[in-house]
């Protein structure tokens, strides 16, 4: 279905043309004075200059025509030359009935030329526990992926594991100290290695921080870790076998964590998967004259004339020939292009890495790792801060682990639900608390523009009132309960359908619903999940307002009542579709 604003604009264009004015002036927008009208067109003010005529005269002529149009309840010209429009309630009801017929998409058109978009998000590091910094990437990336899929694009999510570099050598070194008898450390061993990992996830999570701390104090220890890293990268058998154990144990644990967040990836590729592509890539960059030696290191210049800030060269190899974070990201682009040839790659990464990605993107374009037709997009996100405005920490000031944050909020939600006494069964209360807690975390994050820092306020985010996830879920649950009661009444009406609004609050709700596809569309084109949040907050408010003003279950006219029920069903379905693209769901009761 066409967007309602486009349909309205089309009628305005016809009217402008009929009066002899260019239709480019007929652009209609949502009214910024909802108390005066629903939609407005300010084109007469601009047209006045071209036609050397008072703007209100133009607006008068157009209004005259539009007020005869069945689409509008009223079309008024207001001095100095505004056009104020209100939709006809019958027209609006018809539009919603069409939306309701389309159970999957509610009239939102899928892309005519679907794009293949790869999404680089999550970015966890093997053997290191997930922390708060990884939360935003996972939440935002997952939502962008789902919005894109809804809009008909092929979205491929890649977790881009941090599984390369010194951290692996550190783990091997520490393990060698703790369990020197392990066969992996015997260079003369030629047999098969055990299938079972020689450590559990909790040991692994203990090993890495211990090793990292030691390496900062003990030079010899650090040397050993660097040597182990080198030997691993050179292919030493025992270390390679350890690496796959580390990966397996770690990835199993990561998957469990992401599952709890309702986040999933299509690809579990890591930095290590890019390594085989490095030699050829570097060779080509050298041969084609893009890479040159500067102070011992191999670099590619990426500054541009229009730069206002200095953009340093992109370093490809260090002076000792070792590759870097950059090299890995560039080589990752190589295999992504080779295996998938995406139209776009979106990186959902901390915005402090913006300059870094500017260098990588420019280097990739300049050295033709990607062609002109591939878009590289950096979707940077801000920091999640505590109530003191500083990066979120545990009570004793340590790095907050994601798991702990999630269980803290689950607990908080559970307490609230028990206080409300709405759920008697403890098990159901626990399950519901988890569902609602996830909405609190995700909506709390996604309702902010991604690039901004925000304050993670548990109190506010878990509240059932205000612009929060639990408020949205509460609204959905409220509708579900009305629908259930209606069904119990057993008063089904044949041919029930959405009817023209009979009150201001009902019309306001219907107008909100009608803007669904515009909200989804702009959330996708602007990579902005917060647009979906803003939309459902408005929709939930309109629903609750309508609910408070209207007797629904006590309505005596059965046809009118059935119309209300249809409207509630559509509202619920749309709210549920929206929270699905945000990456959470609603319980049956709460
Ligand atoms: N592993 C990195 C970190 O924890 C994030 C990776 C971001 N993605 C990328 N392609 N560089 O900071």
Give the ranges where 367-452 is alpha helix by DSSP (H): 402-420, 426-446
Tell me the average pLDDT across 408-437.
90
* Residue 233 predicted with pLDDT over 90: no
Ligand 1 midpoint to CA 469 (Å): 28
- The interaxial angle of helices 469-489 and 529-549, nearest 10 deg, is 40
CA dihedral 244, 246, 249, 252 (to 10 degrees): -70
Helix or strand holding residue 546 (H, E): helix 529-549
Q: Which of 122, 349, 350, 357 to mutate to test the pocket of ligand 1 (most atoms within 8 A of CB)?
A: 349
* Mean pLDDT value of segment 274-286: 96
Q: Kindly state the tokens that stand for 447.
A: 């309702």
Whole-number Å distance, alpha carbon 162 to ligand 1 midpoint, is 7
The pLDDT, as a whole number, for residue 445 is 96
pLDDT cut 90: percent of the chain above it: 86
Look up tokens 């290695």; give the residue: 193
Range from 78-82, 172-176, 310-314, 488-492 carrying the lowest mean pLDDT: 488-492
Residue 262 has pLDDT above 80, yes or no: yes
d(CA 418, CA 284): 64
**What stretch of H or E contains 237?**
helix 237-260
Residue 40: strand pairing partners: 29, 84
For residues 91-105, one letter each, b for 16 or more C-beta atoms within 10 angstroms of the residue's C-beta and e for the rest, the string is bbbebbeebbeeeeb
pLDDT in tens, 92-101: 999 999 999 9
Pocket residues for ligand 1 (CB within 6 Å)?
A: 120, 123, 125, 160, 162, 329, 347, 349
Task: Give the angle subtended at the CA of 125 by the CAs of 326 and 584, to the nearest 5°.
Answer: 110
Q: In angstroms, rounded to a whole number, what is the distance separating the alpha carbons of residues 250 and 455?
A: 30
Cα 169 to middle of ligand 1, angstroms: 19
Per-residue pLDDT tens digits for 451-470: 999 998 889 999 999 999 99
The pLDDT confidence band at residue 165, using thresholds 50, 70 and 90, is confident
% residues pLDDT > 70 (the chain):
100
Per-residue H/E/C for 314-382: EEEECCCCCECHHHHHHHHHHHHHHHHCCCEEEEEEEHHHHHHHHHHHHHHHHCCCCCCCCEEEEEEEC
**pLDDT higher at 492 or 286:** 286
For residues 453 and 383, the answer to whether their CB atoms sit within 8 Å is yes
For range 153-173, the mean pLDDT = 94
Q: What is the CATH number of domain 4-87?
A: 3.30.1360.70
Phi-psi region of 586 (alpha: psi -120 to 50; beta: other; left: phi over 0): beta
Q: How far is Cα 152 from Cα 111, in angstroms, rounded to an integer? A: 5
Residue 280: pLDDT over 90 = yes
| 532 Cβ neighbours under 8 A, 6+ residues apart | 143, 147, 446, 519, 520, 523, 578, 581, 582
| pLDDT level of residue 492 (50, 70, 90 thresholds) | confident
**349 strand-pairing partners:** 380
> What is the residue whose two structure tokens read 């349909």?
7
Nearest to residue 40, comparing CAs of 79, 84, 7? 84
Residue nearest to atom 12 of ligand 1 (CA): 123
Task: Kindly report the length of the chain.
Answer: 590
Contacts of 402 (CB under 8 A, 6+ apart): 129, 130, 131, 132, 134, 135, 257
For atom 5 of ligand 1, which residue has the closest CA?
123
Q: Measure 173 CA to ligand 1 centroid, in angstroms.
A: 24
Reply yes or no on whether the pLDDT at 485 is more than 80. yes
For residue 403, report the distance from its CA to the centre of ligand 1, in Å: 20
Q: What whole-number distance in Å separates Cα of residue 196 and Cα of residue 177?
A: 20
- State the average pLDDT over residues 224-241: 92
457 or 500, greater pLDDT: 500
Query: Is-contact 122 137, C-beta < 8 A?
Result: yes
- Which helix (DSSP H) or strand (DSSP E) does residue 51 occupy? helix 43-51
Torsion sign, CA atoms 410, 412, 414, 417: negative
pLDDT higher than 80, residue 424 = no
Find, among 454, 472, 456, the residue nearest to 464 by Cα. Answer: 472
Q: Which of 392, 383, 326, 317 is nearest to 356 (CA)?
A: 326
Q: Ligand 1, residues 122, 123, 358: which to mutate, most atoms within 8 A of Cβ?
A: 123
For the CA of 349, the closest atom of ligand 1 is 7
Query: What is the rounded average pLDDT of the residues 50-75?
Result: 96
CB 451 within 8 A of CB 377: no
Cα 89 to averaged position of ligand 1 atoms, centre (Å): 51
pLDDT of residue 51: 95
Checking if the pLDDT of 254 tops 90, the result is yes
Residues 243-270 have a mean pLDDT of 94
pLDDT of residue 494: 85
Mean pLDDT for the chain overall: 94
Q: Could you tell me which of 187, 296, 197, 294 has the C-alpha nearest to residue 252?
A: 197
Mean pLDDT of 231-241: 91
Which own/partner contact pairs does 96-102 have at CB distance under 8 Å and 24+ positions apart? 96/498, 96/510, 96/513, 96/514, 96/567, 96/570, 97/497, 97/498, 98/1, 99/1, 99/513, 99/514, 99/516, 99/570, 100/498, 100/566, 100/569, 100/570, 102/1
Which comes out higher in pLDDT, residue 573 or 424? 573
pLDDT tens string 8-31: 999 999 999 999 999 999 999 999
Cα angle: 172, vertex 177, 178; to 5 degrees: 95
Pocket of ligand 1, candidates 160, 325, 336, 346: which has the most ligand atoms within 8 Å of its Cβ, to mutate? 160
> Which atom of ligand 1 lies closest to the CA of 125?
1
Of all protein residues, the one whose alpha carbon is nearest to atom 11 of ligand 1 is 329
Q: What are 74's two structure tokens? A: 């009223």
Q: Is the Cα torsion angle 196, 202, 206, 208 positive or negative in sign?
A: positive
Separation of alpha carbons 147 and 519, rounded Å: 11
- Three-class DSSP labels, 101-135: HCCCCCCCCCCCCCCEEEEECCCCECCCCCEHHHH
pLDDT tens digits along 103-149: 999 999 999 999 999 999 999 998 887 888 799 999 999 999 999 99
Cα distance between residue 363 and residue 368, in whole Å: 8
Pocket residue to mutate for ligand 1, from 162, 265, 364, 381, most atoms within 8 A of Cβ? 162
Which residue, by CA, sits nearest to atom 2 of ligand 1?
A: 123
Tell me the mean pLDDT in the region 62-84.
Answer: 96
Are the C-beta atoms of residues 450 and 530 closer than 8 Å to each other? yes
Across residues 263-288, what is the average pLDDT?
A: 96
Quote the CA–CA distance of 500 and 225 in Å, as a whole number.
73
pTM, entire model:
0.94
Alpha carbon separation from 111 to 151, 374, 582 (Å, rounded):
6, 18, 19
Task: Give CATH 3.30.1360.70 domain extents, the chain.
Answer: 4-87
Q: How far apart are the first and last CA of the chain?
A: 35
CB 399 within 8 A of CB 393: yes
Distance 347 CA to ligand 1 centre (A): 9
Alpha-carbon 157 to chain mean position: 12
pLDDT on residue 425: 87
Q: Which atom of ligand 1 is found nearest the CA of 332?
A: 10
* pLDDT computed for residue 58 by the predictor: 96
Q: Which residue has the higher pLDDT, 106 or 399?
A: 106
Instruction: Please state the atom number of ligand 1 nearest to the C-alpha of residue 329.
Output: 10
């Amino acid at each position: 279905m066409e967007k309602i604003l486009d349909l309205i604009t089309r009628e305005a264009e016809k009217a402008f043309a009929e009066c002899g004015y260019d239709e480019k002036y007929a652009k209609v927008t949502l009214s910024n004075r909802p108390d005066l009208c629903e939609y407005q067109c300010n084109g007469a003010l601009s047209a006045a200059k071209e036609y050397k005529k008072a703007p209100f005269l133009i607006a008068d002529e157009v209004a005259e025509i539009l007020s005869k149009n069945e689409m509008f309840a009223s079309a008024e010209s207001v001095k100095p030359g505004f056009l104020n429009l209100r939709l006809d309630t019958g027209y609006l009801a018809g539009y919603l009935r069409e939306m309701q017929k389309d159970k999957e998409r509610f009239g939102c058109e899928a892309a005519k030329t679907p794009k293949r978009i790869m999404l680089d998000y999550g970015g966890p590091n093997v053997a290191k526990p997930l922390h708060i910094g990884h939360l935003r990437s996972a939440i935002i990336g997952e939502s962008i992926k789902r919005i894109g899929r809804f809009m008909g694009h092929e979205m491929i999510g890649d977790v881009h594991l941090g599984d390369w570099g010194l951290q692996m050598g550190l783990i091997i070194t520490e393990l060698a100290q703790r369990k020197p008898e392990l066969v992996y450390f015997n260079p003369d061993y030629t047999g098969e290695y055990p299938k079972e990992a020689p450590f559990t996830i909790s040991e692994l999570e203990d090993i890495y921080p211990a090793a990292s701390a030691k390496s900062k104090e003990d030079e010899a220890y650090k040397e050993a870790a660097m040597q182990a890293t080198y030997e691993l990268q050179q292919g030493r058998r025992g270390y390679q076998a350890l690496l796959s154990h580390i990966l397996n144990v770690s990835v199993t644990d990561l998957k469990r964590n992401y599952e709890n967040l309702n986040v999933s990836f299509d690809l579990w590729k890591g930095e290590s998967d890019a390594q085989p592509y490095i030699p050829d890539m570097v060779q080509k960059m050298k041969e084609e004259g893009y890479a040159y030696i500067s102070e011992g290191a191999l670099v590619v210049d990426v500054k541009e004339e229009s730069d206002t800030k200095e953009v340093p060269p992109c370093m490809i190899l260090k002076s000792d020939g070792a590759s870097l974070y950059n090299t890995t990201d560039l080589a990752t682009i190589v295999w992504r292009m080779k295996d998938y040839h995406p139209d776009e790659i979106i990186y959902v990464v901390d915005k402090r890495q913006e300059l870094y990605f500017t260098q990588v993107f420019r280097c990739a374009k300049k050295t033709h790792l990607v062609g002109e037709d591939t878009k590289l997009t950096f979707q940077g996100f801000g920091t999640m801060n505590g109530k003191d405005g500083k990066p979120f920490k545990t009570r004793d000031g340590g790095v907050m682990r994601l798991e702990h944050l999630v269980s803290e909020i689950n607990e908080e939600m559970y307490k609230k639900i028990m206080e409300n006494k709405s759920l008697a069964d403890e098990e159901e209360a626990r399950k519901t608390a988890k569902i609602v807690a996830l909405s609190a975390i995700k909506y709390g994050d996604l309702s902010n523009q991604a690039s901004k820092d925000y304050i993670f306020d548990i109190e506010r985010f878990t509240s059932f009132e205000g612009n929060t996830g639990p408020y949205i879920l509460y609204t959905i649950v409220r509708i579900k309960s009305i629908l259930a009661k209606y069904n119990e009444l057993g008063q089904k009406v044949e041919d029930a359908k959405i009817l023209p609004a009979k009150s201001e609050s009902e019309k306001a709700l219907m107008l909100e619903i009608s803007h669904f596809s515009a909200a989804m569309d702009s959330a996708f084109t602007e990579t902005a999940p917060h647009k979906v949040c803003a939309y459902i907050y408005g929709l939930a408010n309109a629903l609750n307002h309508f609910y408070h003003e209207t007797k629904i279950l006590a309505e005596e006219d059965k046809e009118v009542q059935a119309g209300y029920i249809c409207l509630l069903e559509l509202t619920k379905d749309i709210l549920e579709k929206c929270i699905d693209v945000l990456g959470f769901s609603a319980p049956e009761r709460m």
